[in-house]
Amino acid sequence: MPLSTTNVATSAVFQAVNCRRSYSKVTAPAPTRAELLPLVAAAARVADHGALRPWRLLELRGEARERLGSAFVAASGCEGGEAIKLAGKPLRAPLLIAVVAVRRVSDKVADWEQDASAAGVAHLLTLLLDDAGWGAMWRTGPLARTAAVRAVHDLADNEELLGWLYVGGIPVDCKPGVRLSIDPAEFLEVL
């Protein structure tokens, strides 16, 4: 029997989703690979028509983040102070998790649906990271689809980079997340 509306509002899943926020700044500790593996296993429960698992994740730590910064600079063509600032962007978190959509050949599952599954993994992973006490923010931008950035991630022709989860500790002085409430009736229509 489904939960009543009252019970749903007090469920742990509802609270996790309702309180979700992005952390634009994180601190130096980051989850280890061993800590990430069960979270990735849980995120793999995302809706996945055809059970294609049309995604993969890449950990970028240490020098890998510097290579990504260099690829940003190469792709942008900027120089001087602007290049230094751009090269430093991947260093804003101790761990970046690249989210890659892997488009499998399928007569039943379109590319867009496979991309949606990969995006779902990323979103579930942000919720799981938050539940485990980590701060995360999904970042992307025009440089994600450039040749230099694709090369750093060693992407195959059937793969697209959807962005990175920037992951680290939650700063002690972090202000509460602010998100404007919506009127759900404006977004839930009836045909």
Determine if residue 45 is labeled as part of a ligand binding site. Answer: yes
| Residue 169: strand, helix, or coil | strand
Contact 141, 90 (CB under 8 A): no
Task: Tokens for 24, please give them.
Answer: 């634009």
Determine if residue 164 is labeled as part of a ligand binding site. Answer: no
Determine if residue 140 is labeled as part of a ligand binding site. Answer: yes
Determine if residue 20 is labeled as part of a ligand binding site. Answer: yes
Contact 64, 43 (CB under 8 A): no
Contact 87, 72 (CB under 8 A): yes
Determine if residue 21 is labeled as part of a ligand binding site. Answer: yes
- H runs (alpha helix) in the chain: 5-10, 12-18, 33-43, 63-76, 80-88, 111-131, 147-152, 184-187
Annotated binding-site ranges for FMN: 20-22, 45, 49, 138-140
As annotated, the binding site includes 20-22, 45, 49, 138-140
